[in-house]
């Protein structure tokens, strides 16, 4: 089991590799976006843990910050979601997206960390 917490959001990976989230979802930082929130506004508070089913039972590690989160799966794929400060146009409410393996130049991601403005990926 593993836990990660951002400002107002919490994530837990259970012993089966399933990822759950709850808390504030202002920027879709819970990984809940659009229809996965039941059609409700993304800027809401989720009181009960929600299973992020798009990752199945394969989550190896998760990290969170104030407005973004990321995880590494068993196949070493990296997924990120929430607020993006990328220039020229910062965007919010980004749904979980896979970072292309080609970005890692033949290395395999093992860990990821979120800071206030950037995400950091450690490879093997």
pLDDT in tens, 7-52: 889 999 999 999 999 998 887 888 886 544 444 454 588 899 999 9
The total domain count for the chain is 1
Nearest CA-CA partner of 69 in 117, 8, 6: 6
The bridge status of strand 59-64 relative to strand 45-51 is unpaired
CB-count exposure of residue 114 (10 Å: 0-12, 13-18, 19+):
buried
- The model's pTM is 0.84
Nearest CA-CA partner of 21 in 64, 84, 83: 64
Selected residue with higher pLDDT from 43 and 55:
55
Q: Which residue range forms the structural domain that includes residue 56?
A: 2-123
Please report where in the chains the tokens 């996965």 appear, as a residue: 36
Q: Give the per-residue pLDDT at 39.
A: 43
Q: What average pLDDT does this structure show over 49-69?
A: 92
């Amino acid at each position: 089991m593993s836990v990660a917490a951002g400002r107002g959001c919490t994530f837990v990976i259970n012993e089966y590799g399933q990822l759950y989230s709850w808390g504030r979802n202002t920027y879709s930082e819970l990984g809940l976006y659009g229809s996965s929130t039941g059609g409700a506004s993304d800027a809401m508070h989720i009181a009960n843990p929600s299973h992020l089913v798009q990752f199945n039972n394969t989550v190896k590690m998760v990290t969170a910050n104030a407005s973004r989160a990321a995880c590494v799966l068993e196949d070493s794929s990296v997924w990120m979601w929430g607020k993006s400060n990328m220039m020229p146009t910062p965007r919010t409410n980004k749904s979980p997206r896979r970072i292309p393996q080609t970005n890692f130049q033949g290395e395999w991601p093992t860990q990821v960390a979120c800071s206030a403005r950037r995400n950091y990926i450690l490879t093997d």
